[in-house]
Chain A
Amino acid sequence: MEILSNLAMGFSIAISPYTLLLAVIGCFVGTIIGALPGLGPANGVALLIPISFSMGLDAISALVLLTSVYYGAMYGGRISSILLNIPGDEPAMMTTLDGYPMAKQGMAGEALVVSGVASFVGAFIATIGLMIFAPYLARVAFKFGPAEYFALYMLAFCTLGGIGSNNQAKAAMAAAIGLGIAMIGLDKTTGMPRFTFGELHLQDGVDFLVAIVGLFAVAEVFFFIETHGKNSAIGVKLGKILVPWRMLRQTTGAMLRGTGIGFVAGVLPGAGASLGSFLAYTAEKSVARDKSQFGKGNPRGVAAPEAGNNAAAGGALVPMLTLGVPGSGTTAVLLALLLTLNITPGPLLFAERPEVVWSLIAALLIANIVLLLMNVPMVKVFVHILSVPAWILLPGVTMVAFVGIYSLTGSSFDMLMMVGFGVLGYIMRKLEIPTVPVILGILLGNAMEDNLRRAMVLSDGDWTFLFSSPIAIGLWIAAVLGFIAPIFLRSFLKRPPLPETEPKVGD
């Protein structure tokens, strides 16, 4: 009952004509961002943080707008997966496996509706899961001291690096680069400048928004120049959209199973939506009686991963809100948003600022309903937008990135640093070094060091203090396992190849 009264409070804050308008705009923009190949949810939210900040939106409005964009991008990713065989973002990759074959058989409309409903089921149930589990986890998190937090940060880096990359050394390197960048600026404890080289601009440290926009958006431009925008979408056609009720009934089980798996994958730190959709698809295939139909246009192969990836997106909010530890690149960006708004996630957030938590949850529920309406009856609108060519889109995205950073900080130095991060992001992606741990390092670096030093103050310099409580030991074991186990599971976790795209006439 406490949940319901809290939720009522959240809705009373979040439901106003103005915030509803923001939710609609956010959902619309988010779906476009998700649908366009090359612009994922992390990218979209990162680009919009500085802009919504300089528009002077208050905390609740900014949260409503950007979480709508976040969920919208998760919905939108499926559109280009199904129609073009190009995942709009990484978690949508599994949707191509059966979505594109369905489109080839002339069932593009059905695939879009089934996946849209699956997205809704996954995201909606996951949001309810968030309401139930987050306060519980927040109560557990009260028991965490500095040693436990330090171990928790290690766990986040280890699982993210272990699962997200094919080379452990590269993932650890990326995390260390991020942590190293986080050290730049004034040391909080002693007040001494570190790694500033006498440069005043560096005294406050490197702004994580500059790093995020550079690593994600600017790096993308270099990639598009190299490929000459070959991946852009041209000539998409779609017939009348009808709701295939029978197909929806047949896939209900797949949606619910996908949701459960996705939510659990999302709650684990470092796993995120990509793993959620992957596991949901694999599980659905292994319980199905008609295994051979998977990969050839089975609607359940569309429903399960879409439910899984959207449920994971909701599940990933649980550790982000209660512990301040994001589970994926996109939630790392959402953490950046909260920090920009001066909201520190963690157990105290639930006790001290319940209005933020519950209006955020209310916003998520609103966003989901808006998205269901947008993505099923109105999906054609987005299909038209998909045909915007890359030579207009990418320059536009770059300019938006610059405007955002410029209006946030007003300094050329930050824009130069953003271009620098763009080059770094390009090189790292060429070398297959993941960039998300860099972001996570920059975001968490200071808190991680702070907790380490406070732990040492408590224990008077005794390093064994880090392993002295059962919770801390458990987290350390999980961290080591999360880092090492994927080496042995790699053959199992190997991703299936994309279905072959038919050569287009006139290419």
Chain B
Amino acid sequence: MIRGDRIFGAVMIVLALGYILTASRIGTSFMSDPVGPRAFPYMIAGVIILCAVSMILRPDPEAEWPAGPMLLQLGIAFAALIGYAFAIKPLGFILPTVIVAGILSWQIGGHPKRAAIAGAGLGIGLFVLFRVVLGLGLKGLPAGWGF
């Protein structure tokens, strides 16, 4: 029976091996010390592999993982956040915030109409809070639209 712990452990072993490989290629410079820049990363990777083996051999009871539709929901949220990270710079604060806050609100609350109001309120309210009250240098709208 495959459990989450085992998958995580296996992934971490692969990552730790990659970490060791990357560490072995760290350049040496004219300044040096007895330990060098590679030893501590090796030790860390060693600890990770030990713990991963322990997780694979003795996994805890399986957690309840989201299935089907819920996984899709989480995927949507993830995509929205990634999109937000890219959009906030060129599009300014208000538009992306209204959209992404609306999406998240709909996903948590489940009412499209309420979510739209929450999104719009958060977009404008937070902009006023950050820009006007706290004085952060946020751009409100896309470049060239004023603000």
Binding site for B on A (CB under 8 A): 51, 54-55, 166-167, 169-170, 172-173, 175-177, 179-180, 183, 187, 189-195, 197, 218, 221-222, 224-226, 228-229, 389-392, 394-396, 398-400, 402-403, 406-407, 412, 415-416, 418-419, 422-423, 426-427, 430-433, 448-449, 452-453, 456-457, 460-461
Contacts and interface: CB of A to CB of B under 8 A. Distances in A.
B85 A419 contact: yes
Contact of B41 (A183, A392, A395): A183
A400 B108 contact: no
B79 to A, nearest CB: 10
A412 B78 contact: no
Most chain A C-beta atoms within 10 Å of own C-beta, residue among B26, B27, B74, B107: B107
Interface string B4-33: 110010001000000100110011110111
Given A391-B111, A395-B104, 7 more contacts: A169-B51, A173-B47, A226-B70, A391-B110, A398-B104, A403-B93, A419-B81
Most chain B C-beta atoms within 10 Å of own C-beta, residue among A389, A403, A418, A461: A403
Nearest to B106: A391
21 contacts: A54-B137, A173-B51, A173-B55, A180-B41, A190-B28, A191-B31, A192-B29, A192-B37, A222-B74, A222-B77, A228-B108, A391-B115, A400-B126, A402-B88, A412-B88, A412-B89, A419-B82, A431-B63, A452-B40, A453-B34, A460-B34
Interface in B90-147: 93, 97, 100-102, 104-111, 114-115, 118-119, 121-122, 126, 130, 134-138
Contacts of A394: 104-105, 108
Given A194-B37, A403-B130, A173 B135 contact: no
| Secondary structure type dominating chain A contacts | helix
Query: Interface residue tally of chain B, by bracket?
Result: 35 or more
A449 B40 CA distance: 7
A395 B138 contact: no
A112 B121 CA distance: 32
B91 to A, nearest CB: 12
Nearest to B86: A412
A345 B35 CA distance: 26
B81 A398 contact: yes
A406 to B, nearest CB: 6
B66 interface: yes
Most chain B C-beta atoms within 10 Å of own C-beta, residue among A187, A228, A395: A395
Contact of B114 (A172, A218, A391, A419): A391
Contacts of A398: 81, 100-101, 104
Contacts of A169: 50-51, 54-55, 58
Contact of A180 (B48, B100, B115, B138): B48
Given A391-B118, A399-B126, A427-B8, A221 B104 contact: yes
B4 A430 contact: yes
Given A226-B74, A406-B88, A456-B33, A399 B122 contact: yes
Contacts of A422: 81
A55 B74 contact: no
B35 A453 contact: yes
A192 B27 contact: yes
B108 A179 contact: no
B26 A453 contact: no
Contacts of A218: 81
A388 to B, nearest CB: 11
B29 A395 contact: no
Contact of A192 (B26, B66, B104): B26
A390 B107 CA distance: 11
B136 A226 contact: no
Contacts of B107: 225
A218 B66 CA distance: 17
A399 B137 contact: no
A390 B48 contact: no
A399 B97 contact: yes
A172 B50 CA distance: 9
A392 B29 contact: no
Given A55-B135, A190-B28, A391 B105 contact: yes
A451 to B, nearest CB: 11
Given A176-B47, A190-B29, A432 B63 contact: yes
Contacts of A166: 60
A55 B136 contact: yes
A316 to B, nearest CB: 25
A26 to B, nearest CB: 14
A402 B35 CA distance: 39
A180 B70 contact: no
B48 A177 contact: yes
Nearest to A403: B130
Contact of A190 (B22, B31, B47, B73): B31
Contacts of B110: 228, 391
A392 B109 CA distance: 9
Contacts of B28: 190, 192
